[in-house]
Structure 1
Amino acid sequence: MDWSVMGPYIERGGEVSAPVYREAARWIAGSLPRPGRVLDVGSGPGVVACLLAEVFEDAEVIAVDPEEALLELARERAAREGLADRVRTVRAELPDGLDGLPPADLLWLGRSLHHVGDQRAALASAARRLAPGGVLALLEGGLPSRSLPRDLGFGRPALESRMDAVEQDWFSAMRDALPGSRSETEDWPALLESAGLRPAGTRTFLLDRPAPLTAQERDFVVASFERRREAMGDSLDAADLATLDRLVDAGDPAGLRNRPDLHLLTAQTVHTAVAAPRES
């Protein structure tokens, strides 16, 4: 993966989804109002880390990621937003690299756990970084995003559903190929409990952007479909590939750049769990 290329794309996605992350952080703040230290593990370009610093105004926020190109984007973002004194970066990989990190009152794992072969061991490693009474917030699951009507006016209806099926096969193959990969039932509260934590709540957050999209939102949806078209290869049939090619063609009147019905609907699920308090 060329992270210098992927970084700006991930950053745009984070910016478009910022309302979801902000709402999730405020939900967490209801039970953890004043954390002193927050770890964003698998932080990428730092969009969420800066949002966490915004919501938890007194906290030191540490953005943790194995990719230096992404951490550089995080540092640049923190500087632009006037947060350089409270947001710092550490290069470390989940799970082994977490042992050197300081204890946190809140540890955010946003769509990073599924990149680790042994997810159970990774959660146990993350749980060890929590201060007594600290909260681990795990963002995994949700629903596939939707940006198009079922019937586009050309091609076979329900294209996005067939794209989802291809991507689910890719995701399974990706998981199987990870070092030390272990299959787990994706019962996230149960896995958090197996890490010695007490499940505290699950909530799903919607990003509902009806048509017409803003320029930033449309740009992100177009970039997402372009990336998906490149990754699809021959996994879709010829008719669906032809439809997808029309969608990503900037000059096509029915393409993504020109459609008045383009929208963005996503559902992301956050699971929280609490470390045991310090014994008196």
Structure 2
Amino acid sequence: MKPMGKRILSLLVAVLTFGLMSMALISCGNETQSSVKDYKYCIFYIQEVGDGLEGEKGREWEYKVSCHYNTEQLTVEYRERVMYQVSFEIYEADGTYRGERGDFGARGKPGTYYFRAPENAHDYATMKLVILEPVDPRVYPTAKFDPNGAIEYEDGERYVYEYDGEVHYPLIFGVYNGERIEPDKDLDRDGVNYCTDEEGQRILFPREIGIYTVLCRISPGKWSTAEENEKYFGVEATITVEIIEKTTA
């Protein structure tokens, strides 16, 4: 190869080598810059507020979260008329306050909420707030029946009455742990929700001779006292009512 050709080739190799080294340096520089940014952190502040606290000071939580797509989670139980106020502040790695803060407002309904800070930033921290569904403290009683004049019956299944031109059916009530629970005295239709005859026709009450299917129900909130309404769900049961010809002595 001629000397001029060798010089040109050497120059091209040198330029290519310089370019590769420059790209490596730039890549390292970007990586270093990104890692420095990642050392920022966010402090999320969460506080209970609302009338449901009834004058008491609400609980407070504080979470320090690195601004590199990290997430922390707080799970709380639902409390009536209580909300959770969420705010944040951004700091440098050395604890220097960056002058960035924000308020996400308050959340109180059951659900899962995500709060991201700094907003619209490449590197950010996330706070996950989970408010659990309220647990219903009520329990389920067992449906029981007062025969209400039946001449024979199978408890909770079948009740037989003699025909006298009047309506006949047993009276529903509840039992829990051996304790009898009475329905509200104004319970609509004595708890008879619907009634059908042998042909499947819907009627108000069993009255004529025949066999009837009767759904009896005490709806939630229809017990005799406010305390019982807070403790118990409603009950219902489907029974058979039979009215037969009156036997002669």
Question: Larger % of strand: which?
Answer: 2
| Structure exhibiting the larger radius of gyration computed from Cα positions | 2
- Structure with the bigger RCO (C-alpha within 8 Å, sep 6+) is 1
More helix per residue: 1
